[in-house]
Amino acid sequence: MTGDDGQRWVTEEGDDDLRLMRLAQAELSEFARLYDKYVNAIYAYCRRRLDTVPLAEDATSQTFTKALATVPSFREGSGTVRSWLFAIAHNVVLDQIRRLNRRAIRPLDEALNLIDDAPSPEAAALASEAHRELAGALAWLTDEQRAVVELRLAGLTGPEIADVLNISHTAVRALQRRALLRLRGALCGVEKDERP
């Protein structure tokens, strides 16, 4: 580092870190010394930034794994060894936070109380059959009736459907009524010969 007077000054710790880095670059197993020196500080940083101990431990592990992989490419003069390690930790923590924001992470103990919301194989088979029947019944509708029913199934209100289809709300109600009558007939087997 350079002081205000332009003179180069390096702390003893900085000199020691560079010596340890040179040893690690010559023999990767020597990286253990840097690990021992900084693991607690890196962990404390990760723990402050992340919610749980397991996340902080994981981030610490990833930090040193990435650092070990990039030891050969570390260049003196590009910053201190300490800042290099904390830059890696910072990026790892940011990646963890991004992943957490994309999906909810819960402690493993909570998994014991989780209920599987997925349908059973029998329920899935019945739902599939009902879906096929509904799709077959929709084939009995006119294009306008099918559009109204599909938009209603998507959660749109009558006025919204009218806006989407560019027709009046009264026309939507009439189409929906005729569609429901036809669907009832198709599902009960009444209008099988009168496909539109």
Which one has a higher pLDDT value, 121 or 42? 42
* CA angle (30 as vertex; 14, 10 as ends), nearest 5: 10
Q: Is 176 left (phi over 0), alpha (psi -120 to 50) or beta?
A: alpha
In a domain, 181, yes or no: yes
* CA angle (46 as vertex; 41, 48 as ends), nearest 5: 95
- pLDDT of 93 > 70? The answer is yes
Range of the domain at 76: 12-109
Q: Which residues contact 8 (CB under 8 A, 6 or more apart)?
A: 1, 2
| Inter-residue contact 63 to 91 (CB < 8 Å) | no
| Inter-residue contact 23 to 33 (CB < 8 Å) | yes
Question: pTM here?
Answer: 0.48
Q: How many domains does the chain have?
A: 2
Which one has a higher pLDDT value, 68 or 99? 68
| Inter-residue contact 173 to 158 (CB < 8 Å) | yes
My answer on whether 59 and 103 are in the same domain is: yes
**pLDDT tens across 169-181, in order?**
999 999 999 998 8
Surface-to-core class of residue 93, CB atoms within 10 Å of its CB (0-12 exposed, 13-18 middle, 19+ buried): buried
DSSP state of 8: B
My answer on whether 88 and 128 are in the same domain is: no
* CA angle (120 as vertex; 129, 134 as ends), nearest 5: 20
CATH of the domain at 59: 1.10.1740.10
- If pLDDT is split at 50, 70 and 90, which confidence band does 5 have? very low
My answer on whether 84 and 131 are in the same domain is: no
- pLDDT of 36 > 50? The answer is yes
My answer on whether 92 and 129 are in the same domain is: no
Angle between helices 53-70 and 81-102 (to 10 degrees): 130
- If pLDDT is split at 50, 70 and 90, which confidence band does 158 have? confident
Gap between the Cα atoms of 191 and 196, Å rounded? 10
